[in-house]
Structure 1
Amino acid sequence: MLVDTERGYRAVAARDARFDGQFILAVRTTGIYCRPSCPATTPKRRNVEFYATAAAAQAAGYRACRRCLPDAVPGSPEWNLRADLAGRAMRLISDGVVEREGVTGLATRLGYSERHVTRMLMAELGASPLALARAHRAHSARLLIETTNMPFADIAFASGFASIRQFNDTIRAVFAATPTQLRVGAHRRRPTAAAGKVSLRLAFRKPFDAAGLLDFFRREALPGVESVTDRYARTLRLPHGTATARLISMPDHIDCTLRLSDMRDLGSAVARLRRLFDLDADPCAVDEALATDPQLAPLVANRPGLRLPGSVDGTETLLKTLVPQETLINLGDPLPQPDGELTTLFPTAKAIAENTTGTPQAVATAIANGTLDIHVGSDPQTLTETLNSYGVKQKTTNYILMRVLGAPDIMLSETAGSESWSPWRSYASMHLDQIH
């Protein structure tokens, strides 16, 4: 994903926040990388270079700007637009797969060799899977350093570092500060929380239609697992444990409070919640394209910044679509430590298989025994063929592609003129209230 340098420099000169997260600006004379909207004096054109990701800038020897915090921005919308290998790999890396399963696990999930995945990411992004995972670990560590009172040794291992030394070296290299300096600076800005509870801000690009998302989640909410009022709350099954999340929309960000049974799940939880709320979308690009159609123009004007409801877990989303709510409501496991109205975890595939028949049972059984794995790095065509082979209808399969993979260009029903809405037909479906 090469960055158009002339367009990039114009965005930097204008301090255009719409490009934050879409590329990284690196300044040769200072050795620092920034977001495009950094308030610092605009560097001369001859002194800058551009990178697709923070990991690529770090690999080239640059460190993060402590003024604009370039890692604390919405991610690139490119990864939801792209169903190719690079896009699938980036979604899995952000979910922490490399920390948990190594590059071997990443390659296995993608269906390619380690060598091919590494070569492709180097060519596309200028960074290897390990470098991308290192950037992910550094970001997770900074969140824990600045938002909790956890000992640094605990943070190091919770973030996926193999040793305290590796943790300290990475933090100094990426942020040009020691962990202690980062924490002292954060204390001046806001108090920290106790271990197990993290409060943070999730950035998004304006405009943001929070009301539309809440309306959708309210219709779909499973009591005990989810709660929707003027905010959204839910329980989570994560790779190392369980969690609860509470999210409320503010004018410039989402306030998110997480209670985690295992802090190693912080990065994965944040990535999943960002996908759930479609926080990396570029709403201006979507709205501008759809507003050119007379049928959609008034809908877009009425709901600017509409987002596509995502998923925190592919298995949950698929089974929730196939199984009636009255069946699911009594099958969930109790949350080890209830958090107010959040008392229950979404049922396991095994429990659903034992209490259903037909297609839902076949799918749940395949998930329970490991034959079927629905994850953000799935290949769309392969996933479609696999679900169809279990008897899942094509419309349901399209819905899963839309929500689990974040596919932006799927139409759930045949509508006149829909081809002209590409590549944003999923958003058109949402405007037309076809997603249920």
Structure 2
Amino acid sequence: MHTDTERCVRAVQSKDARFDGWFFTAVVTTRIYCRPSCPVVPPKAENMTFYPSAAACQQAGFRACKRCRPDSSPGSPEWNQRADLVARAMRLIADGVVDREGVPGLATRLGYSTRQVERQLLAELGAGPLALARAQRAQTARLLIETTALPMAEIAFAAGFSSIRTFNDTVREVFALAPGDLRARAPKRAEGAAPSGTAGGVLALRLPFRAPLNPDNLFGHLIATAVPGVEEWRDGAYRRTLSLPFGHGIVALTPHPDHIGCRLTLTDLRDLTIATSRCRRLLDLDADPAAVDGQLRADPLLAPLVDKAPGRRVPRTVDEAEFAVRAVLGQQVSTAAARTHAARLVTAHGRPVEDPEGGLTHLFPTPDELAALDPDTLALPRSRRTTLTTLVGHLADGRLRLGVESDWDEARARLTELPGFGPWTVEVIAMRALGDPDAFLPSDLGIRRAAQELGLPHTPAALTARAAAWRPWRAYAVQYLWATDDHPINVIPA
């Protein structure tokens, strides 16, 4: 979008927050870059130039605005609605892969050469993977500086910097302030943190999103399907355990009208960026509701559903392999039965954790931890035992890879090859684990019932044909159709 100068200028002049994260405005006279909704008086059009990423602005010598904090904008919805190389790379960078494995590790995961990855990112985003990861580290550093009382040395390494000097230089370059000055200028509740910063390793953050956001089906689905010991609803917050690269954590996510409250307890602060990214992905916070709802409203039978409760999101996952296992456990059984089966696996194979604030007891077991399970201990039909153990075996030995970097069509093909994986299971994994916004479940009983009540075609073939007009947002249409039912997945408990 940053190449459409006229459209970008209009968005900046109207301070349109819908475009935050889509592009960044750099002001050539002040050498400052902003988000489109920056509250300051817009500069003259001839003094604006536009970039596709904060990293590109920084590479061009611009520093972040102290008023609008462009580095904390919602992420671009582009990276979660596409499955090409650039989008997959951006999802991996957000998940911290460059910091942990370097650019060669990023390229290996994507199946391309380092040179190809760097060339495509530079062409589309104006910055290579190292610059994009550096911009992310700077944002994490600012967050920790302003919301915690941690020593600067600890912040530097928690944010992913290799040295104190690099940390100091980057903060000065990006924010035009030394780390100590940045902390001194911070408001008492920057990013929603308590005035005293951290307490006992707890971080309180605000996760932004593009309005509107309807939390009912989003949180309702997570709560209704919550696995005991791994997830719970407590004191108005959805809480769950997180398996992370450097340790583990517990997150509490609370819906508010203008943000999602995020309270993180981490055993290793180096996991902050990854944990935040996974929580945003879980709640689909980088979605563009204007684009989604605008297209779905074009169908006169869907329009009343969208108008009644706009901004529905697709509830996703923090761990793709976990969701695939849970999808198999949920085949042809009730929500309650699926939770029971998953809870048994967790108790038998999950790693215990301590939760002084609630009832979380375990991490969901990894494929490696499940690889040695005895099928005879599973209270499942024999065919489903085979389906589960085959899936776990393929995930554990790498024959099947499910992650943010997955090619959606290739992952579908690999899943379809496994015994017991029909279209419903494959598509629900594509929708909620892989994040394909166009995944569709025409054979789902709830979808067919809703379609019939609305006057839509309700046989799978006919509904698929009608849904062609909803592309590429059919996964969101699924949420609107599911919401016509009185199932607990559509309601947040009082």
Separation in 2, partners of 1:51, 1:294: 37
Q: How many residues align?
A: 436
Separation in 2, partners of 1:331, 1:125: 43
Q: Is the 8 A contact 2:77 2:286 kept in 1?
A: yes
Separation in 2, partners of 1:106, 1:334: 28
Alpha-carbon deviation of 1:2? 4.6
Matches within 5 A, 1:220-259: 220-228=225-233, 230-259=236-265
Separation in 2, partners of 1:306, 1:321: 22
In structure 2, give the amino acid aligned to 1:400: I
In structure 1, give the amino acid aligned to 2:302: L
- Between structure 1 and structure 2, the one with the greater Rg is 2
Separation in 2, partners of 1:198, 1:306: 27
TM-score (norm 1): 0.96
Separation in 2, partners of 1:319, 1:35: 40
Q: Is the 8 A contact 2:213 2:311 kept in 1?
A: yes
Three-state SS of the structure 1 residue aligned to 2:33 is strand
- Verify: 1:206 aligned to 2:211, yes or no: yes
- Structure 2: gaps (5+ residues): 190-194, 330-337, 376-384, 443-459, 490-494
In structure 1, give the amino acid aligned to 2:172: R
Alpha-carbon deviation of 1:334? 4.3
Percent identical across equivalent pairs? 52
2:126 match = 126
Q: Is the 8 A contact 2:83 2:408 kept in 1?
A: yes
Separation in 2, partners of 1:59, 1:400: 38
1:375 match = 403
Separation in 1, partners of 2:470, 2:16: 26
- Verify: 1:342 aligned to 2:371, yes or no: no
Matches within 5 A, 1:126-145: 126-145=126-145
Matches within 5 A, 1:84-233: 84-186=84-186, 188-189=188-189, 190-194=195-199, 196-228=201-233, 230-233=236-239
Q: Is the 8 A contact 1:148 1:195 kept in 2?
A: no
Separation in 1, partners of 2:63, 2:284: 28
Q: Is the 8 A contact 2:402 2:434 kept in 1?
A: no
Separation in 2, partners of 1:298, 1:191: 46
Alpha-carbon deviation of 1:141? 1.1
180-189 vs 16-25, which moves further: 180-189
Q: Is the 8 A contact 1:331 1:351 kept in 2?
A: no
Separation in 2, partners of 1:147, 1:355: 47
Separation in 2, partners of 1:325, 1:160: 37
Three-state SS of the structure 2 residue aligned to 1:309 is coil
In structure 2, give the amino acid aligned to 1:352: L
Q: Is the 8 A contact 1:224 1:344 kept in 2?
A: yes
In structure 1, give the amino acid aligned to 2:408: P
Q: Is the 8 A contact 2:217 2:479 kept in 1?
A: no
2:342 match = 328
Residue 309 of structure 1 is aligned with which of 301, 310, 315? 315
Separation in 1, partners of 2:73, 2:482: 30
Three-state SS of the structure 1 residue aligned to 2:391 is helix
- Verify: 1:425 aligned to 2:439, yes or no: no
TM-score (norm 2): 0.85
- Structure 1: gaps (5+ residues): none
Q: Is the 8 A contact 1:93 1:133 kept in 2?
A: yes
Three-state SS of the structure 1 residue aligned to 2:232 is strand
- Verify: 1:281 aligned to 2:308, yes or no: no
Separation in 1, partners of 2:197, 2:183: 9
